A and B are shown apart, each in its own frame.
Chain A
Amino acid sequence: MKGKVLKGTSLLLASVMLVGSLAACSSKEEEKKPADETGKTNTAENTTETPTTDKSPITYTMLAADPSPDWNQMQDEVGKKITEKTGVTLKMDFATDANKVALVAASGEYPDIISAKGSSNLFVDAGAVLDLTDLIDQYGPNLKKVYGDYWNRLKWSNDDQGVYVVPTYDGVGNTYFDAGGAFSLQHQAVEEAGYPQIKTVKDYEKVIADYVAKHPTTADGKKTLGLSLLADDWRIMISVTNPAFQATGASDDGEIYIDPKTYQATFHYRRPEEKEYFRWLNHMNDIGLIDPESFVQKEDQYKAKIAQGRVVGVIDQKWGFQSSIDSLKKEGKNAATYGFYSVQMDDKTVDHTFEPTGFMGGYGLMISKDAKNPERIIQMLDYLASEEGQVLINWGIEGKHYNVENGKRVIPQAVQDQKTNDASNFKKTTGIGLYNNYGPHYGDGVQDSTGNYFTTNFPEQIQKTYSEEDKKVLAAYGKTTWKDFYPSEKEFAAKPWGAAWNLPVPSDSDANIIYNKLTPIVRKRIPEIILSKPSEFDAKWDAFLAELDKNGVKKYEEEYTKYIQERVNLWSGR
């Protein structure tokens, strides 16, 4: 009976469309008038007040593919300032489930601003969004300045060189100062092992094995877990499969590996090197160091285990278990928090984690063809892109969230404490960090005209967020940040294709359909292979590769190779 609720996607879709089109028919007539009127008043104000920018209050609807739990309807301090400076208020709608963006695309009723992440192509294909080239030329001098030499990377495709997406996810000129994944170890384990060299999976394994052998249970009697992995839905990629890139010295491009010379794409499980990584995980399971619930547990169970301080090693990105680290810190269990190490299969390969991508363009904002006064949106984005706007979204308001001492921006200790210990509330009230993905921005390590960094992440600032325990471990290794364990980005040339994971692949292309067949195979087989007996490993791995082959993995790779080559051509302006 419950099935009735979901009585077929077609009916749902069709009714959405129907209602949508009815609404569109009825509202078009009504909407036209106010639009014209506001247009008139705007021009009137333009002539009387400021000749260049219009700051009369205006509200835009916006759909964001990423939920932002701390969003405060622009009632936070930074939000109020943005409204004051540009007149714009954003009325946000978040896509709480994956299909919302697709449904909006199908409905034909578009919000003014759309941040669709990977689904941008839906809107562009449908002709639902504006080509912004001329608008930016006219109203966005700061936007042009921010993107600078990367302008080519904003263009849609070789055939259609329009700019539909203002990239807002990736920071321009970003350099990383801190590492946050994927191989992490509890400080107490490293300390007890006497700060050994941690370079290979064997070193990593030894620290875990020794600690578990010595402390089979935690102080409060819970079983110590060697390594806990998370395979809940897409998280399997972050915690189980993608670390194979890192450990084999390859550059992580999502689910594919791209040969830096030939641009040949390979579904990364098909690299012989990675087989060895999974063999190692299989071995870890065999000797009982992998939490037997790894492939069954849900995200909350996983985080709870880490927060109890009983997981010695975590293979995951730091953002994946940040909340657990926070609660460990709150309970004063700093020894059970984690350090991040560069771990390779053997010493022949080099960790490519920090291989620079250059500015990646990609995910960002689009403006609907139905938006009123689209130039106002561009002007708002332009304000955010200006030096003033950049400092505002990153640092907050002068005298309140930061002070300028001897020409340097400094965050007062009280504010910093609040930011570290009560991050979510801080974000909600101040708005610092809320707007980074809603406007173009510089990345870490870029300096403004006064010689200060645009973002609040710079080496000295990062060390301030470290606990005493973090510093102690780092000092024992003679390092200052976790990143120092990794080869620096200066050792690599930037990848000319940026990162393949943000490549817009046509939604109904064969590559996409094949990928959807490959995904369940990977998600089912990889856990099975890791949990099998070591003697069966080779046979199971071969069967896995054969299954991929049968489902068209080669065709998938071919298509992807084509996309990559096209992108390299587009981005290099050829």
Chain B
Amino acid sequence: MEAITLNEKKPAGAKNKGFWFRMVQQKYLYFMTIPFVIWVFVFSYLPIWGWTMAFQKYRPARSFWDQDWVGFKHFVDLFNDDRFYLVMRNTLAMSFMSLIAGFTIPILFAVLLNELRNQVFKRFVQTISYLPHFVSWVVVAGIVTKMLSIDGGVINDLLVWLHIIDKPIVFMGEGKYFWTIVTSSDIWKEMGWNTIIYLAAITGIDPEQYEAARVDGAGRWRQIWHITLPGIRTTISVLLIMSIGHLIQIGFEKQFLLGNPRVIDYSEVLDLYALNNGLALNRFSFGTAISIFNSVVSVILLFVANGIFKRVTKESIM
């Protein structure tokens, strides 16, 4: 008995000693992290205090103790609003569309670019393709609306000229087109930019692997399939997990700028809903309730995605 307990104690004590010992040994490193820990605490954790607003009937400029507490009233209001579910549908639909398109297309593009032999041409294409990233959504929305206009819009003119349609279609006025329009403009704007990270990952692949494959008689397709894609798999899964975490936080600029009253049932997204029903009405508490919901769902999505990936591909970000 005694021997066993002794045996058990020993490693534990050694481990503890090891931790403190290492901490003292690495004290300068720990000191160096302190500013960042403070930074994260002040800007990411302290503001969570503001969540208390969601359970109050919040009035500005009153002290915390003078606020009226209302419990879960704002959450009940939120879940009882029909519009909320419509908005969730739009948010998730557009998120998934842009998630799917936003992953496949840049990866394909990166792989194709990588196969280009002419370096000058490759650089040129790459630069051109990521330039739209720097164009503001306001401008992009203007261009898209003009192009899709029935009043001399390029797309309608082209379709009519090709006899695909008889008369111009009011693309911006039909709810069924809206999600596609948003997704395609998003792709146009962000494709090149999102390609950069995959290109960087591809560059990191050891050229010897390609040489070995070539010696084994692998053609271009085989090389892409067996070397390039597996080589960037880690990057893909990390990015995918992170985007899934942001599924319902898609912002609202695109939808706000491209939307109009006729497609309001397809264009209103969660962030816009929060803005219209929260801040715009000075219902700070209600807005906070929405954003708590938002954050909680995001965290759940992130963990679920991470868990799945961990099991399936043995890769994870946590």
Contacts and interface: CB of A to CB of B under 8 A. Distances in A.
Interface of A: 1-11, 13-15, 17-18, 98-99, 102-103, 105-106, 108, 119, 122, 125-128, 223, 231-232, 236, 292-293, 295-298, 300-301, 305, 507-508, 512-513, 516-517, 520, 523-524, 526-528, 531
B284 A106 contact: yes
A305 B146 CA distance: 13
B254 to A, nearest CB: 9
A281 to B, nearest CB: 14
B251 A523 contact: no
B260 A10 contact: no
Given A4-B249, A18-B46, A520-B268, A10 B54 contact: yes
B287 A7 contact: no
Interface stretch (B103-111, B229-237, B289-297): B289-297
Contact of B149 (A127, A293, A526): A293
A9 B60 contact: no
A1 B197 CA distance: 14
Nearest to B278: A9
A9 B150 CA distance: 37
A236 B274 CA distance: 22
B65 to A, nearest CB: 14
B251 A3 contact: yes
B288 A1 contact: no
A105 B150 CA distance: 44
Interface of B: 43, 46-51, 53-54, 57, 59-62, 81, 83, 142, 145-146, 149-151, 170, 172-173, 242-243, 246, 248-253, 260-262, 264-265, 268, 271, 274-284, 287-288, 290-292, 294-295
Contact of A15 (B43, B242, B282): B43
Contact of A9 (B151, B243, B288): B288
A2 B292 CA distance: 18
Contacts, number: 164
B246 A295 contact: no
B262 A301 contact: no
A103 B49 CA distance: 18
A9 B149 contact: no
B281 A516 contact: yes
B198 to A, nearest CB: 15
B50 A3 contact: no
A10 B282 contact: no
A508 B250 contact: no
A370 B127 CA distance: 53
Given A6-B251, A15-B43, A293-B170, 10 more contacts: A8-B291, A15-B50, A231-B260, A231-B262, A517-B81, A517-B83, A520-B83, A524-B262, A524-B264, A531-B262
Contact of B150 (A4, A15, A292): A292
14 contacts: A3-B271, A8-B292, A10-B51, A10-B54, A14-B47, A14-B53, A103-B279, A105-B61, A223-B151, A293-B173, A295-B261, A296-B170, A298-B145, A507-B283
B282 A507 contact: yes
A10 B287 contact: yes
Contacts of B260: 231-232, 295-298
A317 to B, nearest CB: 19
Contact of B279 (A1, A102, A223): A102
Given A102-B282, A508-B282, A527 B262 contact: yes
Nearest to B260: A296
Contacts of B60: 105-106, 108, 122, 125-126, 128
Nearest to A523: B261
Contacts of A103: 279
Contacts of B243: 1
Contacts of B51: 10, 14
A3 B269 CA distance: 12
Point out which of B60, B173, B291 has the most chain A C-beta atoms below 10 A from its C-beta.
B60
A119 B61 contact: no
Nearest to A128: B61
A1 B246 contact: yes
A508 B287 contact: no
